[in-house]
Amino acid sequence: IFILILIIIAWANHRRYYFFECKIPSLYKKNSAHWQRLNFLIFFRNIYTSANIFDIMIYVKNCFSEVIFLNTQYICEMNGNFRTETDVFFSEKCSFRVGGKIGLCVFPSNEEELIYAVKKAEEYGEKYIVLGNMTNILPSDDTYDGTVIVTSEMQKMRFDGNFVFAEAGAPLTRLSLLSARQGLSGLEFAYGIPGSLGGAVYMNAGAYGGCMADVLTSVTAYDPKSGVVSDYTADECKFGYRNSRF
């Protein structure tokens, strides 16, 4: 990353100004593909008075507090393969309407794209987290300088006899409703739960005396540590109260 700092010294009314113009490849603005410009104006009372260096450092730090630096090549690869969003906040995405700025939001639409997104984040050493409908999280107000991989576009469902196959982003309420229309019972407890299937399995979500462990047959999951996609039976998921092996 090259940061170009142009210092312009101007005079007006016997006062001295330092004007810093920086060009940086960042996610500060809506279009992360372009170089963004940040302008900082530091005021000095006059030419003979020295500014407090600590005040200057604090001022510049505050100006950069919401600037998020991610690998440019990584961003280009993500933009070329998925729908992505920048300049967004957790408070715009999660149900509790809290949380700070997000570095990059990625929206894979199927299993292959999800695995690719995780692998790329691992490859470039970027911080990342995989989330679903964001209805049961309380993110910090601090800036998250990483990638949020959102499964909300992975909503495919398929019915086969007494079984339903669904992706991680499938809304739990919709899954419950469609299952009932197919004449299948067991997911009545899930109607009204605002989360997605992936999150429900992760925490063994439940209500009204029922939970995911009661109706789940198997789970297909990707382990980023081993790079292997595996199938787990309900017993292998090690479900507990709002808990699982995942």
What SS3 state is found at 95?
A: coil
- pLDDT number for residue 111: 95
> For the ranges 67-76, 123-132, 200-209, which has the lowest average pLDDT?
67-76
**Tens of pLDDT, residues 27-46:** 333 333 333 333 333 333 33
CA–CA dist 157, 150 (Å, integer): 18
Q: What is the pLDDT averaged over residues 183-200?
A: 95
pTM check: above 0.75: no
- pLDDT number for residue 12: 36
pLDDT value at 202 more than 50:
yes
CA–CA dist 48, 19 (Å, integer): 18
Choose between 22 and 245: higher pLDDT: 245
Of 152, 113, 114, which is closest to residue 133 (Cα–Cα)? 152
- pLDDT number for residue 69: 63
pLDDT value at 71 more than 60:
yes
Confidence of residue 68 (pLDDT cuts 50, 70, 90): low
CA–CA dist 36, 20 (Å, integer): 14
pLDDT value at 17 more than 90:
no
Of 192, 236, 183, which is closest to residue 213 (Cα–Cα)? 236
- pLDDT number for residue 47: 36
> For the ranges 44-58, 77-91, 109-123, 182-196, which has the lowest average pLDDT?
44-58
Confidence of residue 79 (pLDDT cuts 50, 70, 90): confident
Confidence of residue 61 (pLDDT cuts 50, 70, 90): very low
Choose between 77 and 223: higher pLDDT: 223
Choose between 134 and 69: higher pLDDT: 134
Choose between 217 and 22: higher pLDDT: 217
